[in-house]
Homo-oligomer: A and B are copies of this chain.
Amino acid sequence: MPYTYEYPRPAVTVDCILFGFDDGELKVLLIQRASDPFKGLWAFPGGFLDMEDPTIEFAAKRELEEETGLKEVFMEQLYTFGDVGRDPRGRTVSVAYYALVKLSDYLLQAGSDADQAHWFNISQVPALAFDHAKILQMALERLKGKVRYQPIGFELLPQKFTLSELQHLYETVLEKPLDKRNFRKKILKMNLLKPLEEMQAGVAHRAARLYQFDKQRYEELKSRGFNFEI
């Protein structure tokens, strides 16, 4: 069932740069390519935009779910790549999205068809297919820029987290150390974190208090002109 057009058309694909955070490390999900081109190299989950996808973002989420089983992740459009030669099979325009997931959730997920999917520490990424190295670099820059002005860091942490975990996340993403007292002062003054009664468990030292990000309150404050900033 071929499709015919008067003028040539590039293929349109989506790519998902999926970030996670665990063990004090920022991670990215990659899938090893089973076939040429770039067989054996690693690439982001992604695929073709289907005519049935109502939006491009829908396509990105669909692909992500197909390849990893993950649903309802934070996702934003990153950039669209379409240089000649980026795909040896033919002209391809790829709309890239980056997504943030709570790795704690992800570990509960199972049974996707992506047996070749692996999380890599951001500092230990293997050789990538296509122009994905460039895309990853751009995604990291975007994350670094965005995390300071929007409360998206919480998407990478479990529902309940300690202030130290939050601080380490910021230190990792921003690639610079932060002062503990100043960080706590600033983040708590925003009134966006609900302190819980519950304490951290299973650690060989004093247990830390757990907090929860209060999204509702954030929306409330934002509509009153509040600006998140770390």
Q: Which residues of A contact B (CB under 8 A)?
A: 1-12, 48-49, 51, 53-56, 77, 79-80, 82-84, 91, 93, 95
CB-based contact A3/B7 at 8 Å = yes
Residue numbers in B under 8 Å from A84 (CB-CB): 53-55
For A7, A8, A79, the residue with the greatest tally of chain B CB atoms inside 10 Å of its CB is A8
A9 interface neighbour in B11, B79, B82, B83, Cβ under 8 Å: B11
A9-B7 in contact given A84-B55, A93-B49, A93-B56 (Cβ < 8 Å): no
Partner pick for A93 among B1, B4, B95, CB 8 A cutoff? B95
A110 CB, nearest partner CB in chain B, Å:
30
Q: Which residue of B lies closest to A1 (CB)?
A: B6
Contact across chains for A51 and B6 when beta carbons are under 8 A apart:
no
B residues in contact with A7, CB < 8 Å? 3, 48
Partner of A6, one of B3, B8, B9, B82: B3
Contact of A10 among B4, B12, B83 (CB under 8 A): B12
4 extra interchain contacts, Cβ-Cβ under 8 A, other than A3-B8, A10-B12, A10-B51?
A2-B6, A3-B7, A82-B95, A93-B93
Q: Is the CB of B2 within 8 A of A91?
A: no
Q: Which chain B residue shows the least CB distance to A80?
A: B80
Closest 4 CB pairs of A and B: A56-B82, A9-B9, A80-B80, A3-B8
